[in-house]
Every structure is written in C-alpha cells, then in structure tokens.
Amino acid sequence: MRNKEDEQEMNKIDVLNSLEVLDYDANGGELEYLIVPNTEENRVKLLEIGTPSDELQDAITDDGEGIDISMICFEYGGAKWFKPKSGFTGYVPEDAPEWAK
C-alpha cells in the first residue's frame, strides 16, 4: 500500500508526463536537456509540483519558446529516470547503467 508521500510523488510524475516534449538529449543514460513548451499552463504545472519561480525563470530557453525541465524533473518532480518512449518514472529501472543505481 502506498503512503501519502508516495502518492504525491506519483502525482508529480503524472504532471511531468502530461507535458509535451519538444526536444531532448538523453546521452549515455544521462538526461542532458528536455524542452517543453513555454506556456502559461506548463509554467503553472511546474510551479504546482514545487519548482521555485526563480528556477523556473532560469530554465526558460534563450529563445523564450521552451522550458528545460531536465533538472526540475528530478529535483522537484520526484522523477528518478526518463525513457523517451515511456516518460518519467519514480524508480530507476533494472536495466539502467550501474552508475545510476
């Protein structure tokens, strides 16, 4: 049975997985960047999962069109891993590189 904290982390991961991914680079098991659209709706979602507004502002891309959530997702979103086809998870999969476990 999940406790309340586990459920909150899963809800955060669901929020992350609801965001449209514009571009990403997951090189060698490390998420270099992951860009989502810079929309009001996405900013609100990221603030609701606990992202400080100054860090959200810093994550906006130079062209202003996107938000790089590669750090936000792990720091505030409860994510432990990202797979392009399935999205964020709250655990590190068994087939992950040893350094990630």
Model pLDDT, residue 12: 96
What is the C-alpha to C-alpha distance for residues 31 and 33, in angstroms, rounded to an integer?
Answer: 6
Residue 50: which region, alpha, beta or left (left: phi > 0; alpha: psi -120 to 50)? left
Model pLDDT, residue 10: 74
Model pLDDT, residue 18: 97
Stretches where the chain sits below pLDDT 70 are 1-7, 28
Model pLDDT, residue 98: 78
Model pLDDT, residue 6: 63
DSSP letter string, 36-50: EE--HHHHHHHHHTT
What is the C-alpha to C-alpha distance for residues 36 and 66, in angstroms, rounded to an integer?
Answer: 5
Taking the CA atoms of residue 22, residue 16, residue 82 and residue 9 in that order, the dihedral angle to the nearest 10 degrees is: 170
